[in-house]
Amino acid sequence: MKKVLKSLVSKAKHSDSQPEESKTSSKTDNKPTKQTNYYETKKEFTLSIVVPSSIVDNAQSLELKTYLVGQIAKAAAILQVNEIIVLSNDKTQARRQHNTQESTTEFFVKNLEYLETPQYLRKALFPVSQSLKYSGLMNPIDTPHHLRVTQWYPYREGAIIKRPVKDGKGSWANIGLLKDCQVDLQLEEGTRVTIKLNETDFLDQRDKKTHYTGQVVA
């Protein structure tokens, strides 16, 4: 029994005498050296949330209602929510209180759509409305499809504009760049589209180009 105890004590002393670096290195060898960003990982699913429209009725003024919708949209954008489903359960006296002809659900949806739309398209797609009176109070959600004029991406959101075009040559669209884009389909003015740009047309002599070309994909 004494021999067994002596051997255990000698092993314990031997382990204590090992340098701390070797202990820590053995523990961390199995850990990955590069941390992966959650937002850079490819999701194999879509995320939807359901929000009742009555949550907006709890706000006491039109300004607070608008700001509340903006906070919901901002949170959904940060958490990469793909779809917001508005469950309609309005209070009947809400529209009378703020002198608007739209229901709370319509107010909720219109402000969500306004925030989702890139800033360079809002003026063309959203006419002046009482529901959007305080839209400037909402913080921008800054989602990936909200591109700046200096950013290049193969796909851009656009809106069909009124500009003369030859028969069979498609339509003209505003895509948030300094020059308009000619698309392959003939569409009605004010239609929102997703355009796949011609990459070579954009990169080669971009300053000398009079316009860009692309295909409507959505």
Task: Show me where the domains of the chain are located.
Answer: 48-137, 155-216
Question: Looking at residues 3-26, what average pLDDT do you find?
Answer: 46
Element (H, E) at 23: helix 20-28
Query: Can you tell me the mean pLDDT for 83-102?
Result: 73
Range with the largest mean pLDDT of 38-52, 82-96, 173-187: 173-187
DSSP element (H, E) containing 4: helix 2-16
pLDDT of amino acid 2: 44
Residue 19 has pLDDT above 80, yes or no: no
Q: Is 80 exceeded by the pLDDT of residue 16?
A: no
Q: What is the mean pLDDT of residues 58-86?
A: 94
Query: How is domain 48-137 classified at the architecture level of CATH?
Result: 3-Layer(aba) Sandwich (3.40)
CATH of span 155-216: 2.40.50.140
Give me the mean pLDDT over the 102-110 stretch: 92
Confidence of residue 204 (pLDDT cuts 50, 70, 90): low
Predicted confidence at residue 33, as pLDDT, reads 43
Pairwise CA distance, residues 79 & 73, whole Å: 10
Would the pTM of this model clear 0.85, i.e. be above it? no
CA 189 to CA 158: how far, in whole Å? 11
